[in-house]
């Protein structure tokens, strides 16, 4: 085959370092964001935490001092964190990397056929996020002699690789690191050299043979250190990010939605993200008669402080806006419980609050909300749907809740088979296949009826 050069016009969004930092904060969990605030509070003299008692009862004002703990869990033995704010993990559904990827796929505006292609690929992903077979072998296993082409499968693979967490659905660490670097913007010269090294000199990089690499790529010692640090900062096991989130023993709600008297109240947890501001005394010193290096030091810290406070405010405000939107859309859930959850996708909420879908995706993963029915991850409120016999959309989460209730209330000596559950759901105007019931049952961590049977 004759090699050809093909010119392609590609449009890419260049993201500034400031925006990259904002995105990084959006992805952080409650503990991570609290630690990040504590870190900048200790390192930047221009940032101070505000001692406000407005979120506490009159006789509980001393609780605001918990803001100064080195981390959110340090004072768990004290009364500064109430039992309603630190709750043992009670998540009904364990989320693994496959479920996390499929959740995103079902919320994307792609065809049902593409979703099925994605599901078949995701079935081959292990807990580290890597494919256990290459895409060509998967094609031979599933789609050989079908209407689906290998190019279609590769296109869906590339789509999955750029979902959260970036770099999954690759055949190994080399491909994953390349995908992760390709998602860093703006493209600096160091990033370009990193990509070349990973593509063409990966074995030499692993063996630390930089003298050999230098013969092919112009590098100085400073660049080598930067390249090592940049590649090291990527996630070698992207799937473990989801797994590790589920290993946390405690869940700290970022937002609380509870009914007080007859009114619903939506509040951010300020022990997760306390109010911070700029110390004006240091700002005044910048223009005073001090050494030039001291003035430059204060100016740099002032720029960092302003950027950090702006990004934290955007994160917290957007999180509250998403929570308010979820409350409005899922009012039946908050009034009557999990079985009343309705279909909802990322795009609906994104349009409602005026942000991009990716922002909603980042802020609903690993963030938790306290409700009258327990603590839920925000992404719990987003689900795909099926149509019932009346043509109405029914949330898959609602169906799972009904299956859970049926299994919990069954006769343990004669547990319900998947087929029996199908028939019981039909009586509620929900017509789904037995294999779908089986899939939902497994996701709910229930065994088959024969294994659930007790004497």
Structural domains of the chain sorted by starting position, each given as residue range(s) with its CATH number in brackets: 95-245 (no CATH), 386-455 (1.10.10.60)
Q: Are 272 and 259 in contact (CB under 8 A)?
A: no
- How far apart (Å, rounded) are the C-alpha atoms in residues 431 and 423? 8
How many CA atoms, within 13 angstroms, populate the side-chain half-sphere of residue 399? 30
Residue found by looking up tokens 């999180």 in the block: 319
- How far apart (Å, rounded) are the C-alpha atoms in residues 278 and 310? 11
Could you tell me the mean pLDDT of each successive run of 10 residues in the chain, 455 residues long? 51 54 80 85 82 46 39 38 33 66 87 91 90 88 86 93 92 92 86 91 86 87 88 87 54 87 87 82 80 85 89 91 92 81 84 88 87 85 65 70 86 88 85 83 84 78
Tokens of 145: 């002699």
**For 310, phi and psi rounded to 5 degrees?**
-60, -45
Residue found by looking up tokens 């810290």 in the block: 301
**For 32, phi and psi rounded to 5 degrees?**
-65, -40
Q: Are 249 and 89 in contact (CB under 8 A)?
A: yes
Separation of CA 146 from chain center: 35
Q: Are 369 and 375 in contact (CB under 8 A)?
A: yes
DSSP for 93-150? S---HHHHHHHHHHHSS--HHHHHHHHHHHTTB-TTSBBSS-HHHHHHHHTTTSS--H
Q: Nearest-CA neighbor of 165 among 89, 228, 234?
A: 234
Query: What is the sign, positive or negative, of the torsion defined by CA atoms of 295, 300, 303, 309?
Result: negative
pLDDT at 94: 47
Supply the pTM of this predicted model: 0.51
Helices (H), 233-279: 240-245
3 state SS for 281-324: HHHHHHCCCCCHHHHHHHHHHHHHHHHHHHHHHHHHHHHHHHHH
Q: Are 114 and 149 in contact (CB under 8 A)?
A: no
pLDDT at 179: 93
Separation of CA 251 from chain center: 15
- How far apart (Å, rounded) are the C-alpha atoms in residues 263 and 260? 5
Tokens of 334: 């908050």
- Cα maximum dimension of the chain: 85
Q: Nearest-CA neighbor of 119 among 76, 81, 148?
A: 148
Separation of CA 28 from chain center: 8
Instruction: List, as own/partner pairs, every contact residues 57-63 make where C-beta atoms lie below 8 angstroms and the sequence separation is at least 24, other chains included.
Output: none
- How far apart (Å, rounded) are the C-alpha atoms in residues 294 and 282? 11
pLDDT at 33: 86
Q: 292-329 vs 17-27: helix axis angle to the nearest 10?
A: 50
- How far apart (Å, rounded) are the C-alpha atoms in residues 265 and 281? 37
């Amino acid at each position: 085959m004759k090699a050809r050069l093909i010119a392609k016009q590609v449009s890419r969004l260049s993201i500034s370092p400031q925006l990259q930092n904002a995105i990084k904060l959006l992805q952080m969990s409650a503990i991570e964001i609290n630690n990040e605030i504590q870190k900048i509070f200790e390192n930047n003299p221009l940032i101070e935490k505000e001692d406000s008692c407005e979120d506490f009862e009159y006789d509980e004002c001393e609780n605001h001092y918990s803001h100064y703990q080195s981390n959110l869990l340090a004072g768990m033995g004290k009364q500064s964190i109430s039992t309603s704010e630190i709750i043992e993990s009670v998540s009904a559904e364990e989320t693994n990397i496959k479920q996390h990827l499929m959740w995103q796929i079902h919320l994307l505006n792609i065809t049902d056929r593409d979703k099925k292609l994605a599901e078949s690929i995701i079935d081959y992903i292990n807990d580290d996020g890597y494919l256990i077979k290459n895409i060509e072998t998967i094609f031979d296993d599933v789609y050989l002699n079908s209407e689906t082409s290998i190019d279609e499968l590769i296109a869906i693979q590339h789509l999955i690789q750029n979902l959260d967490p970036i770099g999954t659905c690759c055949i190994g660490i080399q491909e994953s690191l390349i995908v992760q670097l390709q998602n860093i913007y703006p493209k600096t010269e160091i990033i370009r050299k990193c990509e070349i090294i990973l593509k063409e000199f990966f074995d030499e990089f692993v063996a630390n043979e930089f003298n050999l690499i230098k013969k092919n790529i112009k590098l100085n010692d400073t660049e080598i250190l930067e390249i090592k640090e940049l590649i090291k900062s990527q996630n070698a096991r992207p799937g473990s990010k989801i797994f590790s989130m589920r290993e946390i023993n405690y869940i700290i709600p970022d937002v609380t939605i509870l009914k007080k008297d007859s009114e619903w109240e939506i509040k951010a947890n300020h022990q997760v993200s306390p109010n911070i501001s700029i110390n004006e005394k240091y700002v005044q010193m910048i223009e005073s008669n001090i050494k030039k290096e001291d003035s430059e030091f204060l100016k740099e810290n002032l720029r960092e402080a302003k950027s950090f406070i702006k990004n934290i405010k955007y994160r917290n405000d957007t999180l509250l806006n998403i929570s308010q939107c979820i409350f409005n859309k899922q009012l039946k859930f908050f009034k009557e419980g999990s079985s009343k959850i309705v279909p909802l996708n990322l795009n609906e909420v994104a349009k409602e609050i005026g942000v991009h879908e990716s922002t909603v995706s980042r802020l609903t993963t690993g963030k938790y909300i306290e409700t009258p029915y327990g603590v839920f991850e925000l992404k719990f409120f987003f689900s795909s749907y099926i149509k019932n016999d009346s043509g109405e959309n029914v949330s898959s989460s609602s169906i799972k809740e009904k299956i859970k209730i049926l299994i919990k209330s069954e006769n343990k000596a004669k547990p319900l088979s998947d087929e029996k559950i199908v028939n019981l759901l039909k009586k509620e105007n929900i017509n789904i296949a037995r294999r779908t019931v089986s899939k939902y049952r497994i996701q709910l961590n229930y065994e088959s009826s024969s294994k659930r049977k007790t004497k």
